[in-house]
């Protein structure tokens, strides 16, 4: 009844796409802001690559582990809530069925139809518990939730993968005699392309306007990067760094 079956989640379920989008946005802005601050401080391209990769891996591990812990905690809470609800159904089945009947009526279901549905669900305890969890508490059954290790892995890979985009310009051009300004421009273009891709994914996920979502994502990245570049440049001049 209104629940998504475990088999329909697929590799591009809402929770997974959400993790990819937000981890990717965070990593691109973080990585490009670091590049901007280092460039503002006039450090070498090698410094950019080393510090950028170290920062990406460290932050990616932290975010992935944080997602894993958060998902594990959420699933444990759902399991506990389900167990409590199941015990309540076994002890006081009538009031629970009445509450479910009223919930269906509040959704606009006719009394006769709601009574029929509740009568059928009363024969299947597991399905009844899942339905009450979904309808009254907005919780999916634990078996339908994303495995915590998968959530953590997706977050880590998204963070490191998308955050590497701005660093590619410096890493690939490192063996060549390319002016620092050209490398920084290439990093801007790659970061912009990655931000645009994630902005488009965010628009599809949230149902927002595609141009508006892409523009907002690019503005966010540009503002953060400009701030980091300005601070790096000011501190470099203030401390007389070369």
- 105 domain residue, yes or no: yes
Lookup result for tokens 């990245």: 221
Question: CA-CA distance, 229 to 222, in Å (whole number)?
Answer: 10
- 5 domain residue, yes or no: no
- 202 domain residue, yes or no: yes
User: CB within 8 A of 192, min separation 6: which ones?
Assistant: 218, 221
- 4 domain residue, yes or no: no
Instruction: Note whether 88 and 59 are within 8 A (CB).
Output: no
- 140 domain residue, yes or no: yes
Q: How many domains does the chain contain in total?
A: 1
Q: Which domain covers residue 200, as residue numbers?
A: 14-236
Query: What is the pTM (predicted TM-score) of this model?
Result: 0.73
Question: CA-CA distance, 164 to 205, in Å (whole number)?
Answer: 23
Q: For the beta carbon of residue 169, count every other beta carbon within 10 angstroms.
A: 24
- 241 domain residue, yes or no: no
Instruction: Output the tens digit of pLDDT for each of the chain's 242 residues.
Output: 544 444 344 555 566 777 888 888 888 888 877 777 666 555 666 777 888 888 899 999 999 999 999 989 988 988 888 888 888 888 888 888 888 888 899 889 998 998 999 899 888 888 888 888 888 787 887 777 778 888 899 999 999 999 888 888 777 777 777 777 788 788 888 888 988 988 888 888 778 889 998 999 889 878 877 787 788 778 777 776 55
- 102 domain residue, yes or no: yes
Instruction: Check residue 89 and report its DSSP letter.
Output: H
- 78 domain residue, yes or no: yes
Question: CA-CA distance, 198 to 39, in Å (whole number)?
Answer: 25
Question: CA-CA distance, 56 to 44, in Å (whole number)?
Answer: 18
């Amino acid at each position: 009844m209104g629940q998504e079956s475990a088999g329909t989640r697929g590799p591009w379920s809402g929770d997974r796409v959400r993790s990819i989008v937000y981890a990717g946005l965070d990593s691109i802005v973080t990585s490009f802001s670091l590049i901007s601050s280092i460039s503002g401080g006039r450090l070498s391209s090698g410094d950019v690559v080393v510090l950028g990769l170290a920062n990406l891996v460290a932050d990616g591990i932290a975010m992935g582990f944080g997602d894993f812990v958060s998902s594990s905690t959420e699933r444990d809470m759902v399991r506990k809530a389900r167990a409590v609800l199941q015990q309540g159904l076994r002890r006081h089945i009538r009031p629970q069925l009445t509450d479910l009947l009223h919930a269906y009526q509040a959704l606009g279901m006719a009394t006769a139809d709601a009574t029929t549905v509740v009568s059928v669900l009363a024969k299947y305890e597991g399905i009844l518990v899942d339905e009450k969890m979904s309808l009254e508490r907005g919780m999916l059954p634990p078996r339908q939730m994303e495995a915590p290790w998968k959530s953590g892995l997706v977050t880590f890979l998204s963070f490191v993968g998308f955050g590497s985009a701005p660093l590619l310009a410096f890493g690939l051009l490192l063996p060549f005699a390319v002016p620092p300004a050209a490398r920084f421009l290439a990093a801007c273009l790659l970061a912009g392309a990655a931000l645009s891709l994630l902005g488009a994914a965010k628009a599809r996920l949230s149902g927002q306007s595609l141009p508006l979502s892409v523009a907002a994502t690019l503005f966010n990245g540009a503002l953060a990067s400009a701030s980091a570049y300005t601070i790096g440049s000011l501190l470099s001049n203030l401390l007389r760094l070369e």
